[in-house]
Amino acid sequence: MDTTTTGPAAVELLGLVKTFRSPGGQLVRAVGGVDLTVSPGEVVAFLGPNGAGKTTALDMVLGLTTPSAGTVTIFGADPRQAVMTGRVSAVLQTGGLLRDITVRETVQMIASTFPEHSGVDEVIDRAGLTSLARRKVAKCSGGEQQRLRFALALLPDPDLLVLDEPTAGMDVAARREFWDTMHADAYAGRTVLFATHYLEEADAFAARIVMIAGGRIVADGPTEQIRSQATGRTVSADLPQAGAAHALARLRGMPHVAEVTTQGRRVTVTSGDSDAVARALLGELGASNLEIASGSLESAFMTITAAPDRGARTEREVTR
Amino acid sequence: MNATFTGLELRRVLRDYVSMFFIAVLPAFFYLIFGAAQEFGSEDAGNGNVAMYVMISMAAYGAVTATTGIGGMAAVERMQGWGRQLGLTPLRDEGYVLMKAVVAVVVASIPITLIYLLGVVTDAEGSVGAWVLSALVVLTGAAVFALYGLVFGLAFRSEAAVGAASGSLVILAFMGNIFFPLSGTLLTLAKFTPLYGYVSLARYPVTEGYLVNTSNGTVTHEALWGAAG
């Protein structure tokens, strides 16, 4: 990491906590103590399952929600101040557009709130919406509406661009098209912080991945490092009739094991160290019909989120 | 005050033909049927005639339909995520409310202008003071009903609820002595409904506190508030 700092961090979160009172009256901890520093020019992915607290954390970065505890600083200023001066902007999740006006009118409306902006036709062009400028928002597809939100985010020419699950609900083609637009534009020295629950997206676009689960950061590092940690595999085998309970206890107690499930005599183990599990199963546990499969992205994610602490693990099981 | 934003908001409302029908065309039609076309329209009523009395009533109905709808939609839009989008701009809440208020007042003045113009070309008659004052009371009073729409929008969070709020104005207008003069028990009940006081105040420059009663075929005047007169 940088040893010389030339100015304030793009994003600095210190002990960030957000609690809500649920409709049932229970206190829900959506974000449970997050510390994070993002340097100017970094492209960072916020990776986590649904309900991990990503949106809540980003809302606090944007000044849309006030933290219950802790501080948020954007380029050395308060988030609302950063929004007012156009230093930070965002592409929000679905919703939030007026359906009865055209694409161009939407951009005009938001542009009019900024003392200075990049130009209505300019951002429409950069978001690839020129041919749709006169179309009503209601008649635009999900992907087109998302590109419109992107155009709106470009208006203040922000130094920090926040994207909250920008491709949620898009099909594969629309998702690729959106990221192509992003690639073309957002790399121009901008700091980008985006939330996603697609590991491929984080892998393809970010240089750094911050993994969040149960409102806490469970992993943070360069993309390659996180990726190598995430190479969990599943090992399955038939256990002998006798001693099955002992075998399951032994498997659960092994290091790097994220999950152990059974279906009749068949046991399936998700682990970061599949070799050790296979050796134990075929050797001391006397299992047969062994199979090793490279884990799905979801199970890879579980391997990482299960490891650091038990609290995160409990949360994951609740949200599944 | 942001002219571009306000102008676009205004354009949104004006090209919503369905809403504009209920805000301007329908009340104007009601005036022509219940006011201008009636033979008692030319009967005297205080500082004007009965046609003018009906004209003020229908203008008031159109104006509250406008402000209720705009107030309600403002609440729904903000809760459906547009508020978050605006939260990413330098626009402050006060600025937003001010612009919506301007839009509401401008749109409410459309039925008032249209129906008063119809009044001029048909046979509505009244003193100059009555024309000016009644129009002002209709417009300022209608602004209060933006809050009526706002409450529905905030409570039920959907466009349908705002439509229902606007629709409920038809019933409130009947109960508020707007569409035709009530008498007896209905009139007693009317005094407890929200549009009654508003429209009575708007007609005050014409009636000076008297009610018009046409229930027995002839026009008679009754005291507006019990022992008054």
Q: How far is residue A48's CA from residue A216's CA, in Å, rounded to a whole number?
A: 10
Q: How far is residue A148's CA from residue B4's CA, in Å, rounded to a whole number?
A: 19
What single-letter amino acid sits at A137?
Answer: V
Report how far apart, in Å, the C-alpha atoms of A51 and of each of A45, A215, A300, B81, B101 are.
16, 8, 18, 19, 38
Assigned domain for B141 exists: yes
Do B4 and A152 make contact, defined as CB atoms within 8 angstroms? no
Q: How many domains does chain B have?
A: 1
Nearest to A108 among B4, B85, B88 (CB): B4
Q: What is the tens place of the pLDDT at every residue in A187-219?
A: 677 899 999 887 778 888 888 989 888 888 888
Q: Any CB–CB contact under 8 A between A136 and chain B?
A: no
Q: Is the pLDDT of residue A298 over 60?
A: no
Q: Any CB–CB contact under 8 A between A98 and chain B?
A: yes
Q: Any CB–CB contact under 8 A between B80 and chain A?
A: yes
Do B90 and A101 make contact, defined as CB atoms within 8 angstroms? no
Q: Is the pLDDT of residue B146 over 60?
A: yes
Q: Any CB–CB contact under 8 A between A96 and chain B?
A: yes
Q: Residue A67 burial by CB count (10 A; 0-12/13-18/19+): exposed, middle or buried?
A: buried
Amino acid B220: pLDDT:
59
Q: Any CB–CB contact under 8 A between B93 and chain A?
A: no
B29: closest CA of chain A, how far (Å): 27
Amino acid A244: pLDDT:
82
Q: Tell me the CATH number of domain A229-319, given options 3.30.70.920, 3.30.413.10, 1.10.150.80, 3.90.1640.10.
A: 3.30.70.920
DSSP code of residue B224: S
Q: Is the pLDDT of residue B42 over 60?
A: yes
Spatial contact of A56 and A30, defined as CB atoms under 8 Å apart: yes
Nearest to A95 among B12, B80, B90 (CB): B80
Tokens coding A243: 């001693």
B3: closest CA of chain A, how far (Å): 8
A207: closest CA of chain B, how far (Å): 26
Amino acid A18: pLDDT:
92
Report how far apart, in Å, the C-alpha atoms of B155 and of each of A72, A286, B104 are.
32, 64, 20
Length of chain B: 229
What average pLDDT does the segment A307-320 reach?
Answer: 39
Do A98 and B5 make contact, defined as CB atoms within 8 angstroms? no
All structural domains of chain A with their residue ranges: 11-228, 229-319
What is the full DSSP assignment across B13-65? HHT-HHHHIIIIIHHHHHHIIIIITSGGGGSEETTEEHHHHHHHHHHHHHHHH
Neighboring chain B residues of A90 at a CB cutoff of 8 Å? 88
What average pLDDT does the segment B37-59 reach?
Answer: 86
A92: closest CA of chain B, how far (Å): 8
Assigned domain for B229 exists: no
What average pLDDT does the segment B47-74 reach?
Answer: 92
A107: closest CA of chain B, how far (Å): 10
Amino acid A313: pLDDT:
37
Confidence of residue B136 (pLDDT cuts 50, 70, 90): very high
Residue with tokens 């991945």: A209
Amino acid A80: pLDDT:
93
Q: What is the tens place of the pLDDT at every residue in B89-128?
A: 999 989 999 999 999 999 999 999 999 999 999 988 888 9
What average pLDDT does the segment A122-130 reach?
Answer: 91
Neighboring chain B residues of A111 at a CB cutoff of 8 Å? 4
Confidence of residue B39 (pLDDT cuts 50, 70, 90): confident
Do A152 and B85 make contact, defined as CB atoms within 8 angstroms? yes
Q: Any CB–CB contact under 8 A between B16 and chain A?
A: yes
Query: What is the model's pTM?
Result: 0.78
Mean of the per-residue pLDDT values for chain B? 87
Q: What is the tens place of the pLDDT at every residue in A61-95?
A: 999 999 999 999 999 999 999 999 999 999 988 66
Put simply, the chain A residues between 101 and 120 with a CB less than 8 A from any chain B CB are 101, 105, 108-115
B66: closest CA of chain A, how far (Å): 18
Helix (H) or strand (E) holding B159: helix B159-175
Q: What is the tens place of the pLDDT at every residue in A217-230?
A: 888 888 877 766 66
B/e letters for B64-80, b = 16+ CB within 10 Å, e = fewer, are: bbbbbbbbbbbbbbbeb
Q: Which domain holds residue B158?
A: 3-223
Amino acid A264: pLDDT:
85
A134-148, A203-217, B202-216, range with greatest mean pLDDT: A134-148
Helix (H) or strand (E) holding A91: strand A88-91
Q: With CA atoms as reference, report the closest residue to A317 among A28, A49, A53.
A: A49
- pLDDT > 90 in chain A, percent: 36
SS (H, E, C) A6-52: CCCCCEEEEEEEEEEECCCCCEEEEEEEEEEEECCCCEEEEECCCCC
Confidence of residue B162 (pLDDT cuts 50, 70, 90): confident
Amino acid A126: pLDDT:
87
CATH topology of domain A11-228: Rossmann fold (3.40.50)
Q: Is the pLDDT of residue A318 over 50?
A: no
Amino acid B226: pLDDT:
45
Q: Is the pLDDT of residue A53 over 80?
A: yes
3 state DSSP class of A79:
helix
Amino acid B228: pLDDT:
37
ipTM of the complex: 0.83
Q: How far is residue A179's CA from residue B213's CA, in Å, rounded to a whole number?
A: 71
Q: With CA atoms as reference, report the closest residue to A31 among A163, A214, A219, A302.
A: A214
Amino acid A309: pLDDT:
44
- pLDDT > 70 in chain A, percent: 86
Spatial contact of B145 and B68, defined as CB atoms under 8 Å apart: yes
Report the alpha-carbon angle B40-B173-B160, nearest 5. Answer: 145
Amino acid A108: pLDDT:
96
Q: Is the pLDDT of residue A305 over 70?
A: no
Spatial contact of B223 and B209, defined as CB atoms under 8 Å apart: yes
